[in-house]
Structures are given as structure tokens and as C-alpha cells.
Amino acid sequence: MLATFEIREPDYGVLSPAAWPRLIVIILGLLSVVYLLQSIGMPKEKIEAAPRKTMVEFILYWRNVIAVFTIFALYLAALPYLGMLIGNILFCFILLTVLGGWSAILMHLLIAFGASGGMWLLFTVVLEVFLPRGSLTGV
């Protein structure tokens, strides 16, 4: 949220480039609070405890969560170099493939290109929001 206050305001009369990121962060924040409150109120017998025998069992139990955070950290690190469009396509494809397996790789490609390309088109063409370009790709 704090980073949205550093987004440059254009001189011409269009919607502020910071408006949509702020709206999305606020909605995600509210939904996260609702989810947190639901999980706090959940009965103890419904909560499945993670195995605590060894570190290997712990990592195997939480492997999807660890994979998602690792892939997201790499996505954030590569974003200045790849840009929003290529970075999102790669992020979506890699995340779907890691979590969904290699059997539906064509479907993962179609979803990655469709979702990322559609969002890029929506924000760039329709809403006229300037999205970050990559220093390596220029896209």
C-alpha cells in the first residue's frame, strides 16, 4: 500500500495509476481480515495439525506453501527485468505447473497467456494505466 504513494501522477486528466493498485490492496486486506477472523473462530477439532516429528516431514507437509512463496519472491525479483506482461505470464505458468503437475502443460500455457494477456490488455488499453516495463525486454 505504501508503494502506491510513490507512483508518478501523469500531467493529463486520466485515472491515477495508483487508483487500481490501492483498490486491490484494500479489497485483499479486507478479505484477509475476514479469513483471519473465520480461522480464529474455527473449532479446534476441525484444524488439521501439521506433523512435527522432523524438519523433512514439516517441509514435505508445507511444500506447496513454500513453493508458492518461493516462486512469488523470484517473480518480484525478476519483475524489473522482465516487465509486467512477460513476468506475469511466466509467474502464472510456473505456479500452475508446480502446483498442478506436468500433465496439463498446454492448458497451463493457455491459462497463463489468456489471463496475463487479458489483464495486461485491460489495464494498458482500456484503463490506460502505465504498467512497469522490463529493462531486458522493453515490454
Amino acid at 126: V
Give the chain's domain count.
1
Look at residue 48 and tell me whether its pLDDT is greater than 70. Answer: no
| pTM, full prediction | 0.62
| Residue-number span of the structural domain to which 112 is assigned | 51-126
In a domain, 109, yes or no: yes
- Tens digit of each residue's pLDDT (9 = 90 or more) over 2-14: 777 777 777 676 7
In a domain, 12, yes or no: no
C-alpha distances (whole Å) from 4 to each of 26, 48, 97 are 12, 37, 31
Helices 105-121, 63-100: axis angle to 10 degrees equals 100
pLDDT of residue 92: 92
Q: Where are the alpha helices (DSSP H) in the chain?
A: 19-40, 55-61, 63-100, 105-121
In a domain, 85, yes or no: yes
- Tens digit of each residue's pLDDT (9 = 90 or more) over 83-126: 888 888 999 999 999 988 888 889 999 999 999 888 888 887 78
Q: Provide mean pLDDT across the span 54-63.
A: 83
